[in-house]
């Protein structure tokens, strides 16, 4: 398999020539859309609880009716098969209604990070060709680029409150290869890339997580991460509803509220960004809550230190902390740590799930042996076919059938994956990906700046914090407050550098590339 570097398939013929209804009319269509399994459980167990949001428990029968009604409302907005529906929303029952209603029509769902600036939102909706943007009232100032519908607080409980007399829509048939979702992710370029996720990506992901996590009708999942992120939406996220399980949605993450939710509804599963885990473990009122129902929580996004794993086990006494590795491009969850080996394999994110292969390759695509660092490459049916409207980036992201993660790591002799570096110079702060090049692009607009490098430094609360190292133009002066003001007007708040370092020069290799690893080493030593 090593060195098998073939051109990647032409993704555009499948996804971008006229939407889901264009192209090969002979491909098999079936009830593979997401609403089909909600309808199944609504027929079999209509009173079974599916969701809970702000105290309202929603049965499968009610959720099924709301999905059909929401789909009818989307139809009235001019949405049909292949159209892109964007949402700029915090967590709510309406968010999940739109996930399923969009699929009900075989349209394409596009969740947008609600922390992004108006400029960033406008770029994404324009690049995706979104026909509609649904936005929470409190986020309306960030909406841009397309037909916009604003949801007040009542409509956040159910988007069907906007539907009026619109009739429920019939279910459309989709094909496994149809585009289900677009998710924009920070990359090494100036602008985010649209990751294309199909129905077969989602269903293979769900099947693999079912095996790895023993998902079933008894799974009761806490969702406190933002639903625009694969962690909340997919790890395991809505796959729980595939089985007839239960999801409790919290609009925002608050550590005490999360603990109270576990206790109140006897929740047994969760996904937490590292900053969330730390906040709950240090919550001063944590001992008020019975969290004994929790059986597992998926972490990840960084190498989890042993102290945090032990602290988690001390508090959540019946639960195990599952370190994991995954990408937006793979619908999350490519490796999970084996039960009982967390401390023995400290620093590892576990082993590949059933239908994902992992190899470590060098820059020429050759497979490397165990315990040798190289680029983490993945292959399997849950991995994206490529990036929206960008065949060049798609081609660059693959060695033949193997997706290039951009992360550096190694596999040990038993196949456990260890992350050692990020080739993409990605910063992960509070579970959010920050492309350093994107922040650098904005800082370069300042006339005071001659050169800039943005890196991530370790941070006790956020995992990493973005830091700008700047070489000033001759005679110029720059303060952190001015840098912050400039960046906040153009970037999401979490991307704004929290520290400014002024230097005379930046370290470079013989080819002129800035050596960010040298900067990280120097500044972490000083800190």
Q: What is the pLDDT of residues 207-249, one digit of tens each?
A: 999 999 999 999 999 999 999 999 999 999 999 999 999 999 9
Q: What is the pLDDT of residues 344-378, one digit of tens each?
A: 998 899 999 999 999 999 989 999 999 998 899 99
- Dist CA 424 CA 320 (whole Å): 31
Any residues with CB less than 8 A from the CB of 225 and at least 6 apart, and which? 231, 232, 253, 271, 272, 273, 276, 431
H helices of 45-92, in order, are: 60-76
Q: Please indicate whether residue 115 or residue 269 has the higher confidence score (pLDDT).
A: 269
> In this structure, how many other beta carbons lie within 10 angstroms of the beta carbon of residue 265?
16
What's residue 403's pLDDT?
A: 98
Residues carrying CATH 3.30.300.30, the chain: 426-526
pLDDT tier for residue 450 given thresholds of 50, 70 and 90: confident
pLDDT of 513 reads 61
The pLDDT of residue 220 is 98
Helix (H, G, I), strand (E, B), or coil: what is residue 518?
helix
Strands 463-472, 499-502: parallel, antiparallel or unpaired by DSSP? parallel
**Can you tell me the mean pLDDT for 501-507?**
92
Mention every residue, 6+ apart, whose C-beta is less than 8 A from residue 310: 343
pLDDT(461) > 90: no
Report the alpha-carbon distance of residue 71 to residue 98 in Å, rounded. Answer: 8
Asked: is 214-322 a CATH 3.40.50.980 domain? The reply is yes
User: Would you state the pLDDT for residue 509?
Assistant: 54
Per the prediction, the chain carries an average pLDDT of 90
Residue 52, pLDDT above cutoff 90: yes
Query: Exposure pattern of 87-114 as b/e (b: 16+ CB <10 Å)?
Result: bbbbbbbbbbbbbbbbbbbbbbbbbbbb
Per-residue exposure over 217-241, b if at least 16 CB sit within 10 Å of its own CB, e if not: eebbbbbbbbbbbbbbbbbbbbbbb
493-518 core/surface letters (b: 16 or more CB in 10 A; e: else): ebbbbbbbbeeeebbeeeeeebebee
pLDDT of 187 strictly over 70: no
Going by pLDDT thresholds of 50, 70 and 90, the confidence category of residue 303 is low
The pLDDT, as a whole number, for residue 423 is 66
Confidence of residue 8 (pLDDT cuts 50, 70, 90): very low
Q: How far apart are CA 44 and CA 38, in angstroms?
A: 10
Listed in order, the ranges of the chain carrying CATH 3.40.50.980 are 31-174, 214-322
**With contact defined as beta carbons under 8 Å apart, do 378 and 419 qualify?**
no
* Parallel/antiparallel/unpaired status of strands 220-223 and 269-271: parallel
| pLDDT (average), residues 266-292 | 93
- 514's CB contacts (< 8 A; 6+ apart) are 451, 453, 506, 507, 508
The whole model's pTM is what?
0.82
Q: Residue 508: what pLDDT? A: 74
Query: 294 pLDDT exceeds 50?
Result: yes
Q: Using DSSP bridges, classify how beta strands 374-379 and 402-411 pair: parallel, antiparallel or unpaired.
A: antiparallel
What's the rounded Cα separation, in Å, for the pair 406 and 392? 16
pLDDT at 22: 39
CA 230 to mean position of chain CA atoms: 3
Residue 236: cis peptide before it, omega within 30 degrees of 0 = yes
Q: Looking at residue 106, what is its pLDDT? A: 97
382, 210 contact by CB (below 8 A) = no
Condensed to tens digits (0 to 9), the pLDDT of residues 133-164 reads 999 999 999 999 779 999 999 999 999 999 98
CA atoms within 13 A on the CB side of 113: 26
Kindly list the distances between the CA atom of residue 158 and the CA atoms of 56, 73, 98, 141, 260, in Å, as whole numbers in the listed order: 11, 12, 9, 22, 24
Tokens matching residue 464: 């990493």
pLDDT, position 524? 83
Q: Is 23 exposed, middle or buried (0-12, 13-18, 19+ CB in 10 A)?
A: middle
Q: What is the pLDDT of residue 432?
A: 83
**31-174 architecture in CATH?**
3-Layer(aba) Sandwich (3.40)
- Name the CATH superfamily for 426-526: ANL, C-terminal domain (3.30.300.30)
- Length of the chain equals 527
Strand partners of residue 290: none
Report the candidate in 183, 180, 187, 238 with the shortest Cα–Cα distance to residue 210.
238
Confidence of residue 190 (pLDDT cuts 50, 70, 90): low
CA separation for the pair 512, 384 (Å, rounded): 33
pLDDT value for 243: 98
Q: For residue 70, what are the CA distances in angstroms to 444, 472, 500?
A: 44, 54, 47
Task: Decide which of 81 and 430 is more confident.
Answer: 81
């Amino acid at each position: 398999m090593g060195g098998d570097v073939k051109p990647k398939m032409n993704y555009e013929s499948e996804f971008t020539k006229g939407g889901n209804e264009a192209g090969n009319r002979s491909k098999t269509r079936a009830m593979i859309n997401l609403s089909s399994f909600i309808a199944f459980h609504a027929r079999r167990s209509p009173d079974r609880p599916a969701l809970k949001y702000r105290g309202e428990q929603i049965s499968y029968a009610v959720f099924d009716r709301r999905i059909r009604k929401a789909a009818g409302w989307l139809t009235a907005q001019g949405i049909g098969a292949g159209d892109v529906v964007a949402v700029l929303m915090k967590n709510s029952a309406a968010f999940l209604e739109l996930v399923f209603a969009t699929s009900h029509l075989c349209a394409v769902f596009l969740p947008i990070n609600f922390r992004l600036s108006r400029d960033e939102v406008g770029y994404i909706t324009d690049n995706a060709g979104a026909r509609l943007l649904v936005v929470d009232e409190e986020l309306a100032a960030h909406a841009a680029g397309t037909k916009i519908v604003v949801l007040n607080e009542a409509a956040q409980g159910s988007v069907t409150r906007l539907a009026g007399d619109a009739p429920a829509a019939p279910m459309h048939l989709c094909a496994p290869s149809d585009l289900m979702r677009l998710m924009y992710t920070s990359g090494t370029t100036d602008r985010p890339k649209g990751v294309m996720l199909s129905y077969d990506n989602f269903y293979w992901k769900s099947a693999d997580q079912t095996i790895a996590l023993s998902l079933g009708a008894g799974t009761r999942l806490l969702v406190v991460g933002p639903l625009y992120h694969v962690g909340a939406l997919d790890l395991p996220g809505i796959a729980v509803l595939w089985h007839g399980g239960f999801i409790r949605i919290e609009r925002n993450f608050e550590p005490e509220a999360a603990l109270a939710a576990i206790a109140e509804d006897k929740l047994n599963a969760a996904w937490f960004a590292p900053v969330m885990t730390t906040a709950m473990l240090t919550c001063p009122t944590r001992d008020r809550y019975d969290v004994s129902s929790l059986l597992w929580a998926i972490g990840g996004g960084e190498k989890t230190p042993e102290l945090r794993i032990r602290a988690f086990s001390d508090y959540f006494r019946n639960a195990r902390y599952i370190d994991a590795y995954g990408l937006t491009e793979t619908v999350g969850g490519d490796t999970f740590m084996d039960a009982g080996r967390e401390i023995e394999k400290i620093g590892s994110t576990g082993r590949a799930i059933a239908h994902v292969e992992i190899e470590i390759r060098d820059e020429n695509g050759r497979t490397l042996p165990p315990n040798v660092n190289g680029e983490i490459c993945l292959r399997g049916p849950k991995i994206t076919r490529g990036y929206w409207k960008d065949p060049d980036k798609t081609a660059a992201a693959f060695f033949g059938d193997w997706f290039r993660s951009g992360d550096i790591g190694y596999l040990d002799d038993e196949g456990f994956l260890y992350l050692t570096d990020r080739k993409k110079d990605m910063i992960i702060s509070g579970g959010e990906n920050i492309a350093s090049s994107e922040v650098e692009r904005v800082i370069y607009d300042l006339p005071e700046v001659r050169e800039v490098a943005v890196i991530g430094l370790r941070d006790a609360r956020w995992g990493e914090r973005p830091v700008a190292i700047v070489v000033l133009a001759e005679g110029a002066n720059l303060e952190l407050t001015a840098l912050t003001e400039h960046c906040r007007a153009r970037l999401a708040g979490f991307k704004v550098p929290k520290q400014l370092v002024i230097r005379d020069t930046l370290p470079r290799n013989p080819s002129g590339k800035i050596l960010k690893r040298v900067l990280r080493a120097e500044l972490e030593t000083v800190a």
